[in-house]
Amino acid sequence: MADKENSITRQDPNNYWEQLERLEKLIRASELKAGVIFSFHGLILGVFFDRLEELQPLFQEGALFIVLASFWMISSLISIYFCFKCFKPQITKKYEKNVLFFRDAVYSFGSIEKYTKRLIEIFGEEEDFYSQLGQQIYIESMIIDKKFQHVENAIKYFALSFIFIIIIVIVWFIHLYL
């Protein structure tokens, strides 16, 4: 019976490390998505400003084009804002010092010797070790959640801006051929 209890309480740290690796991949995926959205905005804005002379008559003739272009620009800027937010999520909660948090490792333990000593203590005590790993997983999960919320918002406003672009192109073609 004691062996069974020992095997139940004894955990494999590789499961925690694998979870952290998976979370790191999700962080990179969210940032990649935000980067792609940001790149599309850059391309579209570049085309718009390249064609600004051709669009000048539309600006002069009607308020509809100005309103549509304004809505497009606002939705694009909001989408770009969320792309930037994805690259720098902010966690404002306070947690105890953790040897695995990079900022804590640098600033919370004083010298490198004190940090190393605390790291050895934490890794020597199984419960403390798993607690620190669990906290790291929790925080990274919060970061990923924020990043994907920002990516979702960036996509939503990108889609909205794209709808305005389609309407602008339709208005432009109507103006050219009528």
- Give the pLDDT confidence of 157-178 residue by residue, as tens digits: 999 999 999 998 888 788 778 7
Q: List the domain boundaries for the chain.
A: 21-177
What pTM, to 2 d.p., does this model score? 0.77
- Given this model, what pLDDT does residue 92 score? 66
**Calculated CA dihedral for residues 51, 52, 54, 59, nearest 10 degrees:** 140
b/e sequence 93-120, b meaning 16+ C-beta within 10 Å: eeeeebbbbeebbeeebeeeeebeebbe
State CA 73 to chain mean position distance. 22
- Given this model, what pLDDT does residue 40 score? 93
Helical H runs in 51-125?
52-61, 63-87, 102-107, 112-124
d(CA 45, CA 99): 44
What region, left, alpha or beta, does residue 135 occupy, with left being phi > 0 and alpha being psi -120 to 50 degrees? Answer: alpha
Averaged pLDDT for residues 3-22: 67
32 vs 13, residue with greater confidence: 32
d(CA 73, CA 44): 11
Length of the chain: 178
